[in-house]
Amino acid sequence: MKSQINLWRFKHIGIAIWTYLNQPLFDAQKPMIWETKRFWYLYKIQLLENCFQKDGTSQTHYTQ
């Protein structure tokens, strides 16, 4: 169980680093965030907002 949590964290940290490095440099609507702590804070907020917007119903769950 603990190894699954570590893999989940590693995956999400890797995605966050990739998102940080691929920020648009000269976009007036969404300026680049240079400070990593601020980026990490805003990234977590955006991740939570995306999770709340997703449909919570399971496609594989069924009742007999």
pLDDT tens-place string over residues 4-31: 667 767 777 888 889 888 898 888 888 8
Tokens matching residue 55:
């449909």
pLDDT value at residue 9: 73
Q: In this predicted model, what pLDDT tens digit does every residue of 46-57 receive, in sequence order?
A: 989 988 888 766
The pTM assigned to this predicted structure is 0.63
For the residues 38-61, what does the mean pLDDT come to? 82
- HEC string of 41-60 equals HHHHHHHHHHHHHCCCCCCC
> Which of 41, 42, 15 has the alpha carbon at shortest distance from 30?
42
38 has a pLDDT exceeding 90: yes
Contact call for residues 33 and 52 (beta carbons, < 8 A): no
pLDDT value at residue 51: 84
